[in-house]
Structure 1
Amino acid sequence: MSEDSFLREIEEELRSDKLKAFWRRFAPFIIGGAVLIVLLVAANEVWKWWRSSTAAEASDRYYAAVQMLDGGDVDGALSAFADLENNGPQGYAILSRFQQAAALKEQGQFEQAIAAYDALAASLDQPRLRELAYVMSAYIAVDHFDAAAVEARVGSMTGEENALRNNAREALGLAYYKAGNIENARARFEEIAADPMAAQDMQLRAYVYLEQLASTGVAVSNDIVEEVAPQDDAESFEIDLDALGTPMSPVVE
């Protein structure tokens, strides 16, 4: 055996001994780390499956409650929504609370519906959902509370940066009109009519409101009315003046 071959064998033996020593020292940590990775992956898969399964079940329960409500079984629907609120995922729990408040409104329990929307808004940390709950409350409050109550709910939402600004403006305009504050009502309706981002049906309602105000002698900006007015059959948009006191359903932009 040559000297080089002998030296290589010695080096291989030394490397083998070092590897064995390294493995004896660190094997528990290596194996433990591998097992931990496997467990984490398995736990993540189980969590995704559970979340998907839970969401699917909650979705079925939610739409079953909606069908009960549509079918006239209000008490059964309210019970189902309440159960989902207490035992369902957060998203469906919030939707259920919106539905419960809407059902109270449909039953003519207006003050209870307003209280339900207000409580929902106060409990939400998502700004847009909180604002939507206040808008819904404000629309009902137009007919049942004073203008100050509507202002308290949506008065801070009329700025250009707010996605629900035109819903807030409409509720405020109707509340001001009902209170006899015609100038403030006109100003809110003109803001809607002049907003290029307002939904078309919202702008058409603003046009109707302004036309009705103009018919009573209130000075209305002609530029805004001419820009928003339907070109063909404006007659079809005439409404009774009393309808200005009726809150519309909100249009989420």
Structure 2
Amino acid sequence: MSEDLFKEIDEELRTEKLHYFMRRYAKLAIVVIIAVLAVFGLLQFNHWQKHKKIVNASNSYMQVMQKTIQLSPKSKDDKMVDQIIGEFNHISNHSPQSIRALAQLKQASLLLDQGKLKEASAIWEALRFDKTASPDFRNLANLLWIESHLDNVDPGELHNRIRELLDHKTPWYALARECEAILDLKTGKVIEAKQVFGRLSTDMNASPELRKRANVMLQVIAANKRV
């Protein structure tokens, strides 16, 4: 009889303790659940915002690109080109990184077409050293800078930049090799240039256009024509 009574009292005490802990920590549990839901909701909202920005920036980029495509190469209006360059500049300043890099590259390309090498070079250099940009975009900016300065920059600096591209095995590896061969020719290293062009002419990882150019250069070198 007494044992049953003690068991009943013990069960009531355990039940009371359980109710106490439930009352004490119920509010905390609710706060934690609300906090978790709030964080999840915020992450989802930020993801949606980022996606929206990318979509909007992509649409803006394509609209300006359409204007660029419609320009006639023989009748380019400088004012129109300047306007388009300004629009690409606006996109590059107000877009996520991937779209920003594309806008910067196109902006530099149009500036180069206008003979504004200094302005184009400044954009390539800014992109090259932009740590937030994709390595492929940064290396492409470096390659475009090299291609545009083969005639007016110290060969030592050009060689260092080319080695930077070749050492990292970038997607622009074959194009960097072509720049290396051209630089070799300009500095009198005809044998080295011939070797590089020879490898490029049979490199199936290079584009057909690049392999064709390499073959032409091999013919020029073989005929001892002035390069």
TM-score by length of 1: 0.73
> Which structure's relative contact order is higher, taking Cα pairs within 8 Å and 6+ residues apart?
1
Aligned-residue sequence identity (percent) comes to 25
Q: Sort the Cα spacing of 1:139 and 1:194 in 2 relative to 1 into closer, same or farther, 3 A.
A: same
Of residues 91, 96, 100, the one that matches 1:89 is 96
Q: Distance between the aligned counterparts of 2:142 and 2:128, measured in 1?
A: 6
How big is the shift at 1:111?
Answer: 3.4
Of residues 188, 207, 214, the one that matches 2:222 is 214
Give the equivalent residue in structure 2 for 1:176: 184
Amino acid at match of 2:69: D
Q: Distance between the aligned counterparts of 2:127 and 2:201, measured in 1?
A: 30
Amino acid at match of 1:154: I
Map Cα deviations across residues 34-58 of structure 1 (whole Å, 9 max, x no partner): 1111111111121121111111111
Q: How does 1:81-160 map to 2 (within 5 A)?
A: 81-124=88-131, 126-145=134-153, 147-159=155-167
Q: Distance between the aligned counterparts of 2:92 and 2:171, measured in 1?
A: 27
CA contact (8 A) 2:136 2:170 kept: no
Consecutive unaligned residues of structure 1, counting only runs of 5 or more, are: 217-240, 245-253
Give the equivalent residue in structure 2 for 1:30: 29
Q: Distance between the aligned counterparts of 1:175 and 1:98, measured in 2?
A: 24
Q: Are residues 1:165 and 2:164 paired? A: no
Q: Distance between the aligned counterparts of 2:167 and 2:19, measured in 1?
A: 72
Give the equivalent residue in structure 1 for 2:212: 204
Q: Sort the Cα spacing of 1:159 and 1:205 in 2 relative to 1 into closer, same or farther, 3 A.
A: farther
Q: Distance between the aligned counterparts of 1:104 and 1:76, measured in 2?
A: 12
Q: Distance between the aligned counterparts of 1:43 and 1:162, measured in 2?
A: 37
How big is the shift at 1:143?
Answer: 4.6
How big is the shift at 1:154?
Answer: 1.5
Give the equivalent residue in structure 1 for 2:85: 78
How big is the shift at 1:27?
Answer: 1.9
Aligned residues: 218
Q: Sort the Cα spacing of 1:65 and 1:130 in 2 relative to 1 into closer, same or farther, 3 A.
A: same
Q: Sort the Cα spacing of 1:112 and 1:179 in 2 relative to 1 into closer, same or farther, 3 A.
A: farther
Amino acid at match of 1:131: N
